[in-house]
Amino acid sequence: MSAEPGAAFPSAETRRSFLKKPALATAVLAGSRFPALATEPTPAAGAGQPRYRRVRRWGQTNITKADPARYDVAWWHDYWKRTQVQGVIINVGGIVAYYPSAIPLHDRAQFLGDRDLFAELCRAAHDDGLVVFARMDSNSAHEDFFNPHPDWFARDANGRPYRNRDLYFSCVNSGYYDEHIPAVLREIATRYQPEGFTENSWSGLGRGSICYCDNCAKKFHVNSSYELPSGHDWNDDAYRAWIEWNYARRLEIWDTNNRTTRSAGGPHCLWVGMNGGAVSGQAREIRDCKEILARAEMLMLDDQRRANDSGKSRHSRLRAPRPKRHRTIFAAHDRRAAHEHAWLPDARRHARRLAGVSRLPRCASQKIATS
């Protein structure tokens, strides 16, 4: 992730105004041919086969920190039934927690109070036999976290912390990734038993931002004998070594998080991060596609770009990681969620054909991803 302020979400249509129109949100799924996808026979479950392998339609909720006081779990429970999703991705923690965490500095979301919103949603989903993936967002933190652990956060060449508005970017070579995040994952996996985890932004600063914190300086020198590069220069041996070192570190994080979730949540409790839909984008985020694909039992792909004036995203054209992929449809419930997951080639045309409609409502777009 680049250390630049994100584009503001356009105010033309708010989450609240859209949720007043649930009929529109499910218009595509109500098509005469669409429900057949969710009810078609799923692959036979072999002995010990993880439940996520049987899911063909996922739904994702995007909870904001202000939502807990007004969140209507019963409405979502009914929505999942109407859209016939088989698995749901639910916000749980990271920057803020949507449950009463016991981990120091893992602060509860604003207005959460004593409510355990994740438990309510997780229970509602599990009661209906849905698979639950807990969604983390853990690449940055607020000032009350930064102050007691300034050594856990990324610094520019002048020693200033990288920031995005009121958030401080964490350093991938710090205790934030080695201690804090594994502790949060263990707590969630043990307490709620989700079938897996996704992560909105797991790989720290992108290639465009060099971290000069003490952790990076010491570890890079031990690893390569070089000092941190002064800039982005592919002719510089130190810069090329820094790139390779960063690729390796992201794979260490991938492996650490998977070991953590499987040890706490069972052998099939995956941590699948979130990856981009284009190899060039993966490179900018210093994620090794080849090695990730070799490790991953399941992939979730994200490709989004929003403009201030329109809120429309750029949809990349993807190739499936495996020739015999199974199809997963994401039911988007608002404009923000409609931009969460990447499109396969001709996915929009394919979704129209499945739904038997000539065009998709902008706010009820369906997205197809690989897993």
Q: Is 32 helix (H, G, I), strand (E, B) or coil?
A: coil
CA dihedral (74, 80, 82, 87) in degrees, to 10, reads -160
List pLDDT tens digits, range 75-111.
999 999 999 999 999 999 999 999 999 999 999 998 9
Strands, E, within 221-365: which ranges?
Answer: 270-271, 275-276, 301-302, 327-331
d(CA 112, CA 367) in angstroms, rounded, equals: 30
pLDDT of residue 107: 92
In contact, 352 and 32? CB cutoff 8 Å: no
Query: At 185, which helix (H) or strand (E)?
Result: helix 181-192
Q: Is 108 helix (H, G, I), strand (E, B) or coil?
A: strand
Domains plus CATH for the chain?
Answer: 25-38+52-370 (3.20.20.80)
In contact, 175 and 137? CB cutoff 8 Å: no
Average pLDDT (15-37) is 39
pLDDT of residue 307: 52
List pLDDT tens digits, range 177-221.
999 999 999 999 999 999 999 998 899 999 999 999 999 999 999
List pLDDT tens digits, range 148-157.
999 999 999 9
* Beta carbons within 10 angstroms of residue 346's beta carbon: 11
pTM above 0.85, yes or no: no
Residue 303: which pLDDT band, with cuts at 50, 70 and 90? low
d(CA 330, CA 56) in angstroms, rounded, equals: 9
Both tokens of 277, joined, read 């839909």
